[in-house]
């Protein structure tokens, strides 16, 4: 492997890793407010990627593509919360405490099928968002990068930064922390718990949508692409941990880079390593990654 290849694999790894970080952040925020994750989160990403593809192909400028796709998927985020999560909160159910996994997963299956119905099963390529041609290159210190990948890497880092700002520096962030700690107490303190929960799901959907818009031009998209991103995003949060702002970012990027190299060296089984990695990571770091509180028995 020559140094130029190395740096190129590194950059595309960082680009994908940044996207994994965004997905992981979406999981984190809904888990904080409701102790649930959207198992159809990857499918929201896929929906956004297809919407962006259609808008961009129709000639819409990049800001319109972004805002249009993100707004539509944010609405889906509200729907998921309403039909697949809220009905199962704090209510005993035959599926135990895990009903939400099945329902959010089911919601994702419906979305996947919608994608097949509208856009068909075949793989598609999205036109680039930040450059005029898919293979536009930027030359830095004699190494050439795909302009698109570089832009995706930077964009995802900026959004992660904004996310932290919202979480740690805003009133909304404090409300999330309060709701995560105790819903009843938060309600007594005048926090609109329902609205905070819905907002967390909307934010999750927006992060997934942004990821979808960003990755569209740098990977091939197909209706079932969401699953890959769901599993990888989950792995990234599990490794990085939530209390550490740097940790999840480092984990996300490391994951993207490792995956990039795996694909480079073994094109047949390249994507297998990511799952094997997830498998072992979860074995060795199975809990405590969400900063879960230990509750004693009384």
Residues forming the site for other proteins (CB under 8 A): 37, 39, 83-84, 87-88, 92-99, 101-103, 105-114, 116-117, 121, 227, 231, 234, 238, 268-269, 271-272, 275-276, 278-279, 282-283, 286-287, 294, 296-298
**Closest separation in Å from C-beta 35 to other proteins:** 9
**Closest separation in Å from C-beta 75 to other proteins:** 18
Instruction: Read off the tokens for 266.
Output: 């073994």
CA distance 156 to 90: 35
Phi/psi of residue 145, each to 5°?
Answer: -115, 155
Q: Which helix (H) or strand (E) holds 174?
A: helix 171-181
CA distance 172 to 46: 28
Looking at the Cβ atoms of 121 and 171, the one nearer to other proteins is 121
**Closest separation in Å from C-beta 67 to other proteins:** 28
Q: Residue 29: CB partners within 8 Å, gap ≥ 6?
A: 167, 176, 200, 203, 204, 207
Looking at the Cβ atoms of 105 and 164, the one nearer to other proteins is 105
**CA-CA-CA-CA torsion sign (259, 210, 77, 176):** positive
Looking at the Cβ atoms of 105 and 172, the one nearer to other proteins is 105
**Closest separation in Å from C-beta 41 to other proteins:** 12
**Closest separation in Å from C-beta 246 to other proteins:** 23
Closest CA to 242 of 197, 287, 175: 287
Looking at the Cβ atoms of 60 and 258, the one nearer to other proteins is 258
Looking at the Cβ atoms of 3 and 92, the one nearer to other proteins is 92
CA distance 235 to 238: 5
**Spatial contact of 236 and 26, defined as CB atoms under 8 Å apart:** no
């Amino acid at each position: 492997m020559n140094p130029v290849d190395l740096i190129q694999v590194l950059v595309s790894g960082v680009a994908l890793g940044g996207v994994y970080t965004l997905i992981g952040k979406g999981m984190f925020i809904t888990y904080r407010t409701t102790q649930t994750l959207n198992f159809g989160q990857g499918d929201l990403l896929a929906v956004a990627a297809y919407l962006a593809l259609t808008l961009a192909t129709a000639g819409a400028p990049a800001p319109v593509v972004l805002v249009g796709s993100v707004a539509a998927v944010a609405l889906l985020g509200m729907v998921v919360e309403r039909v697949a999560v809220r009905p199962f909160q704090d209510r005993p159910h035959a599926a135990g405490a895990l009903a939400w996994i099945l329902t959010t997963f089911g919601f994702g299956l419906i979305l996947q099928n919608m994608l097949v119905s509208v856009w068909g099963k075949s793989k598609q390529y999205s036109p680039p968002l930040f450059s005029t041609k898919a293979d536009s290159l930027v030359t830095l210190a004699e190494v050439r990068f795909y302009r698109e990948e570089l832009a995706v890497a930077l964009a995802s880092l900026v959004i992660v930064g904004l996310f932290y700002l919202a979480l740690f520096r805003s009133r909304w962030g404090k409300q999330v922390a309060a709701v995560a700690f105790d819903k009843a107490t938060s309600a007594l303190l005048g926090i609109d718990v329902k609205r905070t929960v819905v907002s967390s799901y909307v934010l999750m959907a927006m992060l997934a949508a942004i990821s979808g818009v960003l990755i569209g031009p740098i990977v091939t998209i197909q209706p079932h692409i969401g699953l890959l991103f769901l599993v990888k995003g989950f792995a990234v949060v599990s490794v990085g941990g939530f209390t550490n702002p740097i940790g999840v970012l480092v984990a996300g990027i490391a994951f993207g880079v490792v995956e990039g190299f795996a694909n480079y060296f073994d094109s047949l089984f390249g994507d297998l390593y990511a799952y094997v990695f997830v498998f072992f990571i979860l074995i060795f770091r199975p809990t405590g990654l969400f900063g879960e509180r230990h509750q004693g028995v009384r």
